[in-house]
Structure 1
Amino acid sequence: MKDFNTDRFRYDGDKSFKLKKAPTKVDDLYEDDAHYEALLRQQAAEIDKWQEKMYAHNRYGLLTVFQALDAAGKDGTIQNVFTGTNPAGVKVYAFKRPTDQELDHDFLWRSWRELPERGTIGVFNRSYYEEVLVTKVHPEILTQSQRLPEKVTADLDKLFKHRYQAIRDMETFLYRNGFPTIKFYLHVSKKEQAERLIERIKDQEKNWKFQEGDVKERDFWDDYQDAYETCIAETATDNAPWYIIPADDKKNMRLLVGQIIIDELKKLPISTPEPDDKRFKELQKLIPVIQAQ
């Protein structure tokens, strides 16, 4: 496997973070389309192998969180990276606008319900982070739509400070219980996002992907950049790091994400059960029984 040097995209809170300094494009990690496909298949086999080992060990799970602006490529990345992994070992959940039932609970409630089981990989397409991103850019969601106590929304700076702390506490709790969290921000440039949105408009078969609201949200580009920068700086820890993935090239993005997941799985102290000679001999006695049935 080619050395992708994924540590350069890792941020765990040990230094200051500026999103503007993070690249949206890096040199190609593949030689051509055929090489890209071969690397992707190789990564898929590795992820599947390590997920199976994690399942057999049955002590750990892994939560992966994907966050990005519109058209950055979350869906395609998740689909391509996990193609080839045992479907029983991967649980994907896409978070949309909160339902009435979800609004009747705290902002983390719906995420707790969808966490992975031991031995599996959880994939959050968007996540609880929306509640410190979209709501930061559009605070009226908090003050008018989320049924929060008036005293809570009276000081939004304090509200967000408490939410960052709640997220850090949640991820620390998960880590201590055998569920490390890795978070991906797919970092697309404004120019590339525009080209992808226009492509969705021009291609009738892709019109279903386009939402008119995406155009309006581009007016808040700088606000979203500030919200992501603050969010990443406030919630990155060594046990739950952020990876700021250049997203202007989808192939590079998918290969980087796949390699990071492999690297994180390899860090887990997991192993398949040791061969048991005694049990092996006992099982051999069952072969003629099965054959005679």
Structure 2
Amino acid sequence: MTRLKHYRVKPDAPFRLADIDPGETPFLPAEEHHQRESLELLADELDHWQNLLHAEGRRKLLLVLQGTDTSGKDGTIRWVFSRTSPLGVRVAAFKAPTDEERAHDFLWRCHAVVPRAGEIAVWNRSHYEDVLVPWVEGWIGKAELRRRYAQINDFERLLAETGTVLVKCMLHIDKEEQRKRLQARLDDPSKHWKFSMGDLAARQKWDAYQQAYEHAIAATSTAHAPWYIVPANHKNHRNLMIARLLIKVLRDMKISLAPANPAYAGLKVQ
């Protein structure tokens, strides 16, 4: 698992998103059938650890998935959690804020979907949308941006101090890979529902969003809530890397179950 450290953004250290090649595949077996076999084995192991986490019933795990349009957030959830019980995994998707959500502070909608004890929560986009989009679109200035970074760090520290283990993954693709994926959606009528003209508008601001991601990640990768940059041009690599990362995190939690109940010793069900 040493290779995972390479993709973890160190707190208070220089960081450039461009230093990581989105086409890298260090966790990918050479042959495709081995890729599928590896993912199935990891998905089974993740189910095992999720069961233990649920049985322990004390701590929680929050996986945050961020990335540009078409970076594969939905696909990650579909494949990585393909074997886990839906009773122990809860997914929340963060879309543009509703009128009700805009009437509150930007973190208000997050509190309702944090994981419960024994649960894994997966956020498809997250509270980071409320620093990335407003900054790129010019809706907030530098002072407000700094305040929001500080509030995010405080919020994530609160979660960590109350038993939540946070893992934040930026799904890193390049501009050409995004072009191919958007075009594939346009060329296939059955995938038109995935396409939005807003995707093209955001694509025109590619460089601004890359810079915004770089700044946000550098400002909010902490010891208690680290960011990982996931090379995601290759979909199987993306899935394998995140599955390995989650399993490592769960192992490191050293989950312990309650001792056997002596009242059950020798009990027979009639």
- Fold shared, TM-score > 0.5 on shorter chain: yes
Match of residue 136 from structure 2: 137
| Residue from 147, 165, 175 that aligns with 2:150 | 165
Report the number of matched residues: 269
Who is 2:207 aligned against?
A: 222
Structure 2: distance between partners of 1:30 and 1:17: 28
Partner of 2:254: 269
Equivalent position SS for 2:223: coil
Matched, 1:283 2:267: yes
Shift of 1:14: 4.5
Residue 182 of structure 1: CA displacement? Answer: 0.8
Q: Which residue of 2 aligns with 1:195?
A: 180
Distance in 2, Cα, partners of 1:27 & 1:95:
28
SS in 1 for 2:25: coil
TM-score under structure 2 normalisation?
0.96
Letter in 2 for 1:96: K
How far residue 267 of structure 1 moved from its aligned partner, in angstroms, is 1.4
- Residue of 242, 249, 255 corresponding to 1:257: 242
Match of 1:248 in 2: 233
1:62 aligns with 2:47: no
For 1:10, the aligned partner's letter is: R
Q: Which residue of 2 aligns with 1:145?
A: none
C-alpha displacement of 1:213: 1.5
Long gaps (5+) in structure 2:
none
Q: How many Å separate the matches in 1 of 2:236 and 2:12?
A: 29
Measure the CA separation in 1 of the matches of 2:194 and 2:148: 31
Q: Residue 171 of structure 2 aligns to a residue in which SS?
A: strand
**Amino acid across the alignment from 1:21:** D
State the identity as a percent. Answer: 40
- Larger deviation: 30-39 or 71-80? 30-39
CA–CA separation in structure 1 for the residues paired with 2:106 and 2:252 = 30
Match of 1:209 in 2: 194
**Residue aligning to 1:93:** 92
Counterpart for residue 24 of structure 2: 26
- Corresponding residue for residue 146 of structure 1: none
Deviations 1:209-262 (A, max 9, x none): 111121121110110011000000000001100010001101101000111011
Contact 1:12–1:240 under 8 Å retained in 2? no
| 1:80 positional shift | 0.5
Q: Distance in 2 between matches of 1:196 and 1:253?
A: 15
Per mean C-alpha deviation after superposition, the further-off stretch among 168-177 and 267-276 is: 267-276
Q: Contact between 1:4 and 1:256, CA under 8 Å: does it hold in 2?
A: no
> How many angstroms apart in 1 are the aligned matches of 2:12 and 2:47?
32
Post-superposition CA distance 1:59-85 (Å, at most 9, x none)? 100011000000111100111001100
Q: CA deviation at 1:274?
A: 2.6
The one-letter code sitting in structure 2 at the alignment partner of 1:201 is L
1:32 Cα deviation after fit: 2.1
Matched with 1:84 is: 83
Q: Distance in 2 between matches of 1:210 and 1:112?
A: 29
Give the structure 2 partner of residue 47 of structure 1. Answer: 46
Report the structure, 1 or 2, having the larger helix content: 1
Counterparts of 1:4 and 1:94, CA distance in 2: 31
Say which SS state the counterpart of residue 85 (structure 1) adopts: coil
Q: Does 1:17 align with 2:2?
A: no
Letter in 1 for 2:16: K
* Aligned residue identity for 2:218: A
Q: Report whether the alignment pairs 1:238 with 2:237.
A: no
- Tell me: CA distance 1:27–1:96, structure 2 relative to 1, closer, same or farther (3 Å): closer
Q: Structure 1 residue runs of 4+, over 4 Å off?
A: none
Aligned-residue CA RMSD (Å): 1.4
Structure 1 portions without partners, runs of 5+: 143-155, 289-293
Bigger Cα Rg: 1
Aligned partners of 1:86, 1:272: CA distance in 2, in Å?
19
TM-score normalised to the size of structure 1? 0.89
Number of the residue aligned with 1:291:
none
